[in-house]
C-alpha cells in the first residue's frame, strides 16, 4: 500500500539521518547572520533594561500613562506574552495526551517559545508597578510585620498562576530535553561534552531510564494540561473581576484562553517558518505540520470571532448603558483603529485558513501569522486601554499617548524573548530527536503489518 508514502505525519528519514540533521543545527559554526540576529536581540534586551533603569530612577511617568488609563502598553504586552506562552503547552502536553502525531516535529520549538514567553511576561508585572523594588510584597512570605497579601485580589492569583506556569512549563521543557541532550553530548567534544553531559543528567538510554522517563513525561503532561486553561483564565480575571465596563464579563476566561492559543500558534508559525529554512530542516517540519497548525489557528480564531460577536451581543442585551458605550466606542470611538485592527487581524484574517491552499502556502501563512501577532497585541490594547479610557464618569475620560519608554520596553521584550530563543535553537535540539525516532519504527511496524 501507499500508506507510508501518503501519511505525511511519518518521518521519511532513518534514525541516523534524524540524529545527524538535528545535531548538525547545533554543531555547525554559527553564521554571520546568526551573530547579527543574536546581537540585535541582545541590544534590544539592553534597551529594555536601560529603560527599566530610567523608570526606576524617575518613576513610571516616563511612560505615556494618562489617567484614567492606569494600565497601558506594559499590561497589554504582558498579556500578549502570557498568551504566546499558551500554544507551546497546548501542543506539547494536550496534544501529547491526545496522541496527536503532528505535534512531534514542532513541539520542542513551541515549548521553548512558551518558556521564554512566560519569562518575558513575568517581567512586566514588575516593570509596570509604581515601586518596582517592592514587588516581593505580592508574595506571601513570612515577615516580621505580619503582613500578608490580599488573597481576594486577582493580582495575587496572577502571581501564583504565572509562577506555577513558569515552573511547570520549564520543568516540562527540560525533562523533554534530557535524552536529546544526551544525543548531543555524544556528538561533541571538549568542554561542550562536559556541559551537555552535565545537562543530560547521566542519561544512558537504558531501558529502566526510558521506562521512568516516559512515565514522568506523561505525568508532567497531565500536570501541564489544566494549566493551559487555568493560567490564562486567571489572567483574564485580572480584568473580569473588576467593575470596569468592557472588563467585567463572564465570557472572559474562555475568550482569553482561545485568544492565547490563537496568538501562541500564530507566534509559533512566525518563528518556525523562517527557522526551518535557516536550519535546513524543511524535511522534518513539513507542509503537513503547518496545515495542522493552521487548522488549530482557524479553530481558535473562529472561537475568538464568536467571542467578539458575543461581547457586542452581551453589551446590547444587558441593557447596561456603560457597557454599551464602551463597545460603541471600541468600534467608533477615538481608538477605533485599534478596535478594527483587532477584529480584522483576528476574526477576519483567520477565516482565510478555511482554504487548504492557503494553509499549505508558507508565505501566506507567515504573513497571516504576523497579522495574528499584531491583531492579538491590539486585542489586549483594546481591552486594557480601550475599556479604561471610558468608564463611568465622562468627565474623566481620556486617551493615552505612549512615549519612548513604552516602545523601548515593548521592543526590548521582543529582544529579551528573541535572545533566549536564538540562543536556544543554536544550542539545543530544536526538533525532538527521540520522539521523531520513536515514530519511525512505529511507522515501519504498522506499515509492514498492513502491507502483508
For binding to another protein (CB under 8 A), which residues are involved? 58-62, 64-68, 70-71, 128-132, 134-135, 137-138, 147-150, 152-156, 159, 238, 241-244, 319, 321-322, 325, 388, 390-398, 401
Q: How far apart are the first and last CA of the chain?
A: 9
Beta carbon of residue 173, minimum distance to another protein (angstroms, whole number): 29
Contact indicator for 115, 171 with CB cutoff of 8 Å: no
Tabulate helix, strand, coil % of the chain (nearest 5): 75, 0, 25
* Residue 310 CA from chain centroid, whole number: 25
CA dist 51 and 72 (Å) reads: 16
Provide the β-strand partners of residue 66. Answer: 69
Closer residue to another protein (CB): 1 or 243: 243
Q: Give CA separation, 430 vs 74, 105, 110, 147, in Å.
A: 30, 9, 9, 45
Provide the β-strand partners of residue 69. Answer: 66
Closer residue to another protein (CB): 242 or 302: 242
Beta carbon of residue 350, minimum distance to another protein (angstroms, whole number): 30
C-alpha angle 3-6-7 in degrees, rounded to nearest 5: 80
Contact indicator for 62, 371 with CB cutoff of 8 Å: no
98's grid cell: 491526545
Q: What is the 3-state secondary structure (H, E, C) of 283-316?
A: CCCCHHHHHHHHHHHHHHHHHHHHHHHHHHHHHH
Closer residue to another protein (CB): 323 or 435: 323
Closer residue to another protein (CB): 36 or 147: 147
CA dist 385 and 334 (Å) reads: 11
CA dist 293 and 409 (Å) reads: 30
Beta carbon of residue 139, minimum distance to another protein (angstroms, whole number): 10
Beta carbon of residue 394, minimum distance to another protein (angstroms, whole number): 4
Beta carbon of residue 124, minimum distance to another protein (angstroms, whole number): 12
Beta carbon of residue 259, minimum distance to another protein (angstroms, whole number): 20
Q: Give CA separation, 361 vs 291, 298, 344, 352, in Å.
A: 9, 15, 20, 12
Beta carbon of residue 444, minimum distance to another protein (angstroms, whole number): 56
11's grid cell: 518521518
Beta carbon of residue 406, minimum distance to another protein (angstroms, whole number): 12
Closer residue to another protein (CB): 3 or 139: 139
CA dist 157 and 163 (Å) reads: 10
Beta carbon of residue 381, minimum distance to another protein (angstroms, whole number): 15
Strands in 69-223 per DSSP E = none
Beta carbon of residue 133, minimum distance to another protein (angstroms, whole number): 9
Beta carbon of residue 393, minimum distance to another protein (angstroms, whole number): 6
Residue 423, phi then psi, degrees to nearest 5: -65, -35
Pick the closest to residue 416 from 91, 115, 35, 57 (CA basis): 115
Closer residue to another protein (CB): 132 or 360: 132
With 0-12 / 13-18 / 19 or more C-beta atoms within 10 angstroms meaning exposed / middle / buried, residue 160 is middle
Amino acid at each position: 500500500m501507499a500508506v507510508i508514502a501518503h501519511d505525511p505525519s511519518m518521518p521519511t528519514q532513518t534514525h541516523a539521518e534524524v540524529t545527524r540533521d538535528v545535531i548538525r543545527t547545533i554543531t555547525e559554526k554559527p553564521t554571520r547572520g546568526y551573530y547579527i540576529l543574536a546581537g540585535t536581540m541582545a541590544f534590544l534586551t539592553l534597551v529594555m533594561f536601560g529603560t527599566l533603569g530610567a523608570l526606576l530612577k524617575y518613576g513610571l511617568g516616563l511612560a505615556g500613562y494618562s489617567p484614567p488609563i492606569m494600565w497601558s502598553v506594559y499590561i497589554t504586552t504582558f498579556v500578549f506574552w502570557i498568551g504566546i506562552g499558551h500554544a507551546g503547552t497546548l501542543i506539547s502536553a494536550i496534544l501529547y495526551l491526545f496522541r496527536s502525531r503532528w505535534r512531534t516535529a514542532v513541539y520542542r520549538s513551541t515549548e521553548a517559545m512558551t518558556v521564554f514567553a512566560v519569562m518575558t511576561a513575568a517581567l512586566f508585572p514588575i516593570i509596570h508597578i509604581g515601586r518596582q523594588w517592592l514587588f516581593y510584597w505580592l508574595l506571601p512570605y513570612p515577615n516580621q510585620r505580619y503582613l500578608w497579601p490580599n488573597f481576594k485580589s486577582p493580582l495575587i492569583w496572577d502571581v501564583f498562576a504565572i509562577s506555577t506556569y513558569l515552573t511547570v512549563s520549564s520543568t516540562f521543557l527540560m525533562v523533554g530535553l534530557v535524552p536529546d541532550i544526551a544525543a548531543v553530548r555524544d556528538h561533541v567534544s571538549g568542554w561542550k561534552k562536559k556541559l551537555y553531559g552535565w545537562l543530560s543528567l547521566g542519561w544512558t538510554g537504558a531501558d529502566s531510564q526510558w521506562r521512568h522517563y516516559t512515565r514522568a513525561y506523561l505525568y508532567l503532561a497531565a500536570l501541564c494540561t489544566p494549566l493551559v486553561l487555568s493560567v490564562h483564565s486567571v489572567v483574564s480575571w485580572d480584568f473580569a473581576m473588576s467593575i470596569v465596563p468592557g472588563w467585567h464579563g463572564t465570557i472572559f476566561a474562555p475568550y482569553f484562553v482561545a485568544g492565547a492559543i490563537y496568538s501562541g500558534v500564530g507566534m509559533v508559525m512566525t518563528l518556525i517558518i523562517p527557522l526551518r529554512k535557516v536550519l535546513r530542516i524543511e524535511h522534518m517540519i513539513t507542509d503537513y505540520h503547518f496545515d495542522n497548525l493552521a487548522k488549530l489557528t482557524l479553530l481558535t480564531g473562529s472561537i475568538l470571532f464568536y467571542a467578539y460577536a458575543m461581547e457586542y451581543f452581551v453589551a446590547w442585551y444587558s441593557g447596561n448603558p456603560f457597557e454599551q458605550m464602551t463597545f460603541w466606542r471600541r468600534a467608533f470611538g477615538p481608538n477605533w483603529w485599534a478596535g478594527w485592527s483587532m477584529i480584522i487581524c483576528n476574526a477576519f484574517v483567520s477565516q482565510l485558513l478555511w482554504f487548504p491552499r492557503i494553509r499549505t502556502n508558507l508565505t501566506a501563512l507567515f504573513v497571516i501569522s504576523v497579522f495574528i501577532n499584531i491583531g492579538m497585541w491590539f486585542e489586549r490594547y483594546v481591552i486594557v486601554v480601550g475599556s479604561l479610557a471610558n468608564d463611568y464618569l465622562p468627565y474623566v475620560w481620556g486617551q493615552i499617548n505612549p512615549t519612548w519608554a513604552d516602545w523601548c520596553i515593548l521592543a526590548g521584550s521582543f529582544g529579551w524573548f528573541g535572545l533566549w530563543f536564538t540562543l536556544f535553537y543554536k544550542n539545543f535540539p530544536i526538533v525532538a530527536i527521540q520522539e521523531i525516532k520513536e515514530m519511525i519504527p512505529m511507522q515501519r511496524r504498522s506499515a509492514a503489518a498492513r502491507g502483508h
